[in-house]
């Protein structure tokens, strides 16, 4: 059997979401909105960011209001990952960033 070449290994790393630099202890951040934690504390931190961003916008869209409300509700009842996803989406919409 032939040994895997560097291109095959790179494809495997990318396919698995592993960064070769991560093995050396280097942090590579490609997405600034990437969830690094799914704790209730992070969920509430994100809810605070969304609330601050909503106050900065004159008239947030109904989508943003619903996402923010549902995200806070999910944080409150312990559905942390779902809450984080909704709050992140609301924050992206508020910032006008592409989804």
For 18-36, what is each residue's pLDDT tens digit? 444 444 444 445 556 665 6
Averaged pLDDT score across all residues of the chain: 77
Among 96, 83, 89, which residue's Cα sits nearest to residue 37? 83
- Quickly tell me which residue has 């509430």 as its tokens: 44
Rounded Cα–Cα distance for residues 33 and 51 (Å):
16
Rounded Cα–Cα distance for residues 40 and 98 (Å):
26
Q: What is the pTM of this model?
A: 0.63
CA dihedral 52, 53, 59, 65 (to 10 degrees): -80
Phi and psi, residue 72, nearest 5°: -65, -40
What is the average per-residue pLDDT within 64-82?
Answer: 97
What is the average per-residue pLDDT within 64-72?
Answer: 97
The gap from C-alpha 84 to its chain's centroid, in whole angstroms, comes to 7
Judge whether 20 and 10 are in contact, CB under 8 Å: yes
């Amino acid at each position: 059997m032939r040994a895997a070449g560097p291109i095959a290994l790179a494809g495997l790393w990318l396919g698995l979401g592993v960064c070769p630099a991560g093995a050396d202890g280097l942090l590579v951040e490609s997405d600034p909105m990437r969830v690094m934690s799914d704790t209730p504390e992070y969920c509430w931190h994100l809810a605070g960011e969304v609330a601050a961003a909503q106050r900065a916008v004159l008239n947030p869209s109904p989508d943003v209001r619903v996402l923010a409300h549902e995200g806070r509700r999910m944080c409150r009842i312990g559905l942390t990952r779902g809450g984080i996803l909704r709050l992140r989406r609301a924050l992206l919409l508020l910032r006008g960033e592409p989804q």
